[in-house]
Structure 1
Amino acid sequence: MMHFRSRRMSDLVTAVCLPTTLVLYLHLLVISPGEPPSSAGPPSVSAPLSLPSSPGLSPVPSSSGHNVRQPPSSASPSPQGPPLRNYVPLPASSSYSPTTSVRVPPPLNISGSGHQDLVLVTTLLRCGTTTLSSLLRALRKTNNFTLVADPPRKAELVHIPSMKVQKMIAERVFDLKEPSAVMQTFSFINYTRLGYAPTPLQVSLIRDPVERAISWFYHYRAPFSLVERHNRFPETKLPTRAYLKKDLESCLRDRNDAECRYVPGRQTLGHTIEFFCGHTSDCTTFGDEEALRKAKATVESSFAVVGVLEDMNKTLAVLEHYVPRFFSGATKAYYDRIHGNQLLTNQNFYKPRVETHAREFLRRNFSVELEFYNFCRQRLDQQYRALQLDIST
């Protein structure tokens, strides 16, 4: 039987932090006009999301003069503190040039078969999207590419069962004439089946699915998130006080509360596996074994790199060397300009400590999701080890 803490000092937090957040947010608008961090609605909805009438990928000028659009709203904090203990720095004396591809063969390295001037970055809610966006913004001038991203939406576009819409997206992607990094929020589209070759290089970033679920629960209730959402979509009603005060433990105790129910076999749009499985009906089913099989196959055949937020150092090293056209200098840029910056990593400092029992309770239903997460983490580790071997020879 689970024993969760029953109360938080939410009244005090709300009374003190919400006004403070409003002031800070106005301050950010003054110092960084036109580029506030984005926030969108929850990924799990009762019906498939429809594509907006103009889902185009054409870049528009930013306030800095570069071609870029606002990043998608799926964002999460990057690990802070010293470098990870399992990270082994690459040899500094190597003659390897980061502008050339590594010699690691397939299936660990599929970058050589992709479109070298087009990379698609699949973004997941609360999986480091703001960090990735900030990194690409920092690298675009040095590496000479354009950053293109979806505009913020009330709810994320994930599931697109219509082949007509998929073809329309593909046409807009391949209409880009210059080297481009495209940040997209929807599930994997098989461009080969749509008749496009070579296919774009594809990368993504995931995190522990249980931590992702917890992060989303509290991010949607964070004062800064409420302000951003209301600023972007003024017609959206603010949540009730009871909703804002609810903690994860209380949600899990209530069997009638659907917000925290991750039930295998039910449709749950926006779970991690769906982004790599595709747009068939089984891909939207939470905990589906066939969806897991498809997602693993897609990662191996179509994704140059699937990074892991908990292994950020390895992720940066692999991105930098397997996709150097866009990520050359990624590690230095990350630690010089992004690491430790709460605005550029979209950290939720309002998130309270979550009881261990709550995490373990959630983990019981995430077995299939965790298998996929561990699969991606193992592949990243193998890519990193192969990279060390390659550049040391």
Structure 2
Amino acid sequence: MAYAFSLGDVAFLRSREGGEALKACSALGLTEASRLADVAAARRLVGPEHAAAVLETLLLRRKAEAKVDGGGRWLFTDEALQQASASPVAAYRAERLAGRDVHDVTCSVGADLVALARTARRCIGSDVDEVRLAMAAHNCAVSDVAPALVRADALRPVSRGTVVVADPARRDAAGRRRWRPEDFVPALDDLAAAYAGQPLMVKCAPGLDPRAAPWAREIEVISLDGRVREASLLSEELATAARRATVLRSDGSAWSITDADPDDVPVGEAGEWLVDPDGAVVRAGLVRHYAARYGLRQLDPRIAYLTGDTPPPGVRAFRVLDSGRYSEKALRALLRRHDVGRLEILVRGVDVDPDALRRRLKPRGTTEASVVITRIGRTAVAFLCRAERIPETPTG
């Protein structure tokens, strides 16, 4: 069970004494194996009243360092950290609203609010949870931003003329994920009704069915370093396309594709390379648009794998070495023929468990390869490939 912070905890952690307590306990292991020793040490170093809050804060800060810029100085609750946007995603979304008056109506501990405050003309953050709001005040201060902070229910508007940003809670009190939009807190329909006529951007899970938000005129699916992170629902006032996929990298590079891009691509036999589009492209339903941008073709109109003789820049693509109709017997022979021992298995469109298949195949060769198993028409096909990282196109 995650620790439940109080306002008194936050006040202590923000104080000089709290800073000294955090520093005194910063070298503790904070692992499952060291838990009892850590608790005993913290109680001795900072006293029993504040030991739990100090230990939880240090643990959450360690988890946050890979997700939130400057997270090693922030205050979090466990749930707030889980739902917080990674900093590159928050910064990208904030850039879409740059120069506007923005109100984050579910600001929580401030992961999105800090990014918004850096690009907005004016910025407000509000939350009904007074503990998280106090944490947001601290996090904004250590991040050198100063948005206005107000305690308010997200469904009771307290600002006018702003772009409204919301991130409904998607876990219940036990930490289980909520999947139905009507179970979000606040519910999607209630948010849309509360801010009818105002520009609205709602962060949600990437698997949300767009039909659950009929008010949204754009859905943007965002990935970071190859992993799909989240989606944004945008009202008519903010939308610039119906569907958008945005691919971000931690190095700062980014690109987007929308349903306004051309999507006229052929279906044909496999070429020299297979390409598995970024998950944001697949989730946004923009595989054909991506193929058209890079001169690729589809292996099958219902499958996301693409093929061609020149892969896109900056992707991990698969050079085709051999192929054939898929069966375990045929694939085992293919692996022996190419002396494969270390094997990556990728599957799309067929009912195959890659891990279970690898255990059954027991490859014993000396080379490394990737196998792509997919369906072309009604036929399951296996492609033996060598995965390669394609360099970015040099810029002039």
> Normalising by structure 2, what TM-score?
0.26
Q: TM-score, with normalisation over the residues of structure 1?
A: 0.26
- Report the structure, 1 or 2, having the larger strand content: 2
Higher helix share: 1
Bigger-Rg structure (1/2): 2
Higher normalized contact order (CA 8 Å, seq sep 6+, divided by chain length):
1
